[in-house]
């Protein structure tokens, strides 16, 4: 099928919600993607921070193929050894004793919200959940409500009740909003979709301490920042805080749809029989994939991602010399380069693509760099050189 046929089918049949790049991808190998014309691209998008092992990782592919042949899905009516093996590994690695497995980031956050509400019922009754302006937590109605995007809120009103928001990184506003009605706070340590926007260390440490002192649950959405993305297994580890609930998805199973909500024993047992569920959640295929991804992280990839993430940060610092680069942000292998308003980031994205490098635009005119954790120094050098050529030939 040629490119125009592929595009026509999308235009005719897909609900018109996505603005896609003019690129049809055929296959991946290592940290590279190949389009239908055989052009090669080094991938700094990774299916939006999802393909953390890149493409056709030998050990991962072997484990997934073996599981496909053996058993893919039986529902949670039955036990499977592979799910039991995975939840043991995940709970041991994360330090959270309770988990619920689902299929996406939105579902993981929906689970966290429902779990918090169940917990409130046992602790004095209904409470409000507070989230940050500019946050992204998903597209179900509840997760859309905690996502700080006013236009989206208007489109889907009426929204579920029991939510409020605070200004990103503004501790005074946070303190004001954290009334006795609030039972839980949900945030990303680095707002990904909003353009790789980190909370300050001070904000997180103080907000956490205040929540602890008031008995307010602290929920960290690690959907994008988790699985080694920032150099530690979870981003909250950088701040010396211990959330009550965290959520995961994206990189958790290396590209097979999966999400997880993890909690302390006290909070995680607020659910009882029949309170929540999922047909696909934690099925044998997803668990086999996720178990292999976590094993590979534990066997050296996490340490490696930390090293290469620092390398990426050091190389990107170089771009601050260009006056049209207004900010360089992020941690580990999650970085954002914000361009001044005069230069559309999408134009830079397109030029990088012509040079064989994929990045994407997130939030406020920001190039987002979220490669597989297997990315190499040489591939990073290639991106930096390509971006430098583009910057050097930009008049602004």
Ligand X SMILES: *Cc1c(COP(=O)(O)O)cnc(C)c1O
Under rule CB under 6 A, residue 249 binds ligand X: yes
Residue among 220 and 328 whose Cβ is closer to ligand X = 220
Contact assessment for residue 373 and residue 304, using Cβ atoms and an 8 Å cutoff: yes
Per CB under 6 A, the list member of 43, 188, 244, 291 interacting with ligand X is: 188
Helix orientation angle between 345-354 and 377-392, rounded to the nearest 10 degrees: 120
Here the tokens at position 228 are 């080694």
Alpha-carbon gap, residue 150 to 144, rounded angstroms: 10
Q: Can the peptide bond before residue 340 be classed as cis, meaning omega within 30 degrees of 0?
A: no
Using CB under 6 A, which of 51, 83, 94, 104 touches ligand X? Answer: 104
Q: Which residues contact 120 (CB under 8 A, 6 or more apart)?
A: 126, 127, 183, 184
Neighbours of 88 (CB within 10 A): 12
Tokens for 220? 């960290």
Residue with smaller CB distance to ligand X, 224 or 365: 224
Q: Does 105 bind ligand X (CB under 6 A)?
A: yes
- What is the greatest pairwise CA distance in the chain? 63
Residue nearest to ligand X (CB): 105
Applying CB under 6 A, which part among 104-112, 234-242, 333-341, 360-368 lies near ligand X? 104-112
CA angle, corner 237, sides to 231 and 243, nearest 5? 140
Interface map 109-148 toward ligand X (x if CB under 6 A): x--------------------------xxx----------
Pull the structure tokens for residue 270: 């607020």
Residue 330 touching ligand X (CB under 6 A): no
* Per rule CB under 6 A, count of chain residues that contact ligand X: 15
221 or 379, CB closer to ligand X?
221
Q: By CB under 6 A, is residue 280 in contact with ligand X? A: no
Is residue 10 classed as helix, strand or coil in its secondary structure? Answer: helix
Per-residue interface string for the shown chain with ligand X, residues 288-307, x marking contact by CB under 6 A: --------------------
The answer to whether the CB of 207 falls within 8 A of the CB of 171 is yes
224 touches ligand X by CB under 6 A: yes
Q: From residue 37 to residue 66, what is the string marking binding to ligand X with x (rule CB under 6 A)?
A: ------------------------------
Give the binding site for ligand X (CB under 6 A).
104-106, 109, 136-138, 188, 192-193, 221, 223-224, 249-250
């Amino acid at each position: 099928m040629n490119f125009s046929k592929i595009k026509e089918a999308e235009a005719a049949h897909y609900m018109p919600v996505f603005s896609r790049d003019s690129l049809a991808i055929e296959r991946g190998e290592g940290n590279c993607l190949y389009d239908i014309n055989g052009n090669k691209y080094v991938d700094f998008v990774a299916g939006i921070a999802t393909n953390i092992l890149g493409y056709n990782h030998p050990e991962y592919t072997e484990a997934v193929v073996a599981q496909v042949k053996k058993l893919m899905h039986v529902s949670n009516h039955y036990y499977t050894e592979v799910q039991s093996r995975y939840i043991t590994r995940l709970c041991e690695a994360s330090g959270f004793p309770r988990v619920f497995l689902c299929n996406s980031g939105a579902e993981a956050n929906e689970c966290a919200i429902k779990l918090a509400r169940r917990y409130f019922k046992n602790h004095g009754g209904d409470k409000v959940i507070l989230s940050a302006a500019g946050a992204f937590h998903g597209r179900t109605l509840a997760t859309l409500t905690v996502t700080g995007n006013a236009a989206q809120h208007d489109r889907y009103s009426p929204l579920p009740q029991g939510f409020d928001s605070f200004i990103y990184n503004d501790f005074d506003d946070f303190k004001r909003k954290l009334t006795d009605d609030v039972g839980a706070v949900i945030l990303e340590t680095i707002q990904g979709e909003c353009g790789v926007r980190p909370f300050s260390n001070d904000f997180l440490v103080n907000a956490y301490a205040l929540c602890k002192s008031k008995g307010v649950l602290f929920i960290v959405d690690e959907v994008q920042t988790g699985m080694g993305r920032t150099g530690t297994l979870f981003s909250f580890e950088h701040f010396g805080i211990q959330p009550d609930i965290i959520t995961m998805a994206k990189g958790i199973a290396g590209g097979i749809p999966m999400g997880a909500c993890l909690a302390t024993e006290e909070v995680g047992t607020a659910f009882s029989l029949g309170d929540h569920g999922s047909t696909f959640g934690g099925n044998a295929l997803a668990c086999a994939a996720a178990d292999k991804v976590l094993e590979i992280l534990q066997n050296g990839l996490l340490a490696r991602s930390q090293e290469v993430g620092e390398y990426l940060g050091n190389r990107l610092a170089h771009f601050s010399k260009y006056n049209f680069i207004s900010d360089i942000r992020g941690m580990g292998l999650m970085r954002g380069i914000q361009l001044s308003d005069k230069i559309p980031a999408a134009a830079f994205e397109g030029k990088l693509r012509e040079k064989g490098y994929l990045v994407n635009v997130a939030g406020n005119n920001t190039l987002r760099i979220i490669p597989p954790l297997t990315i190499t120094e040489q591939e990073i050098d290639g991106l930096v050189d390509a971006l430098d050529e583009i910057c050097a030939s930009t008049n602004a």
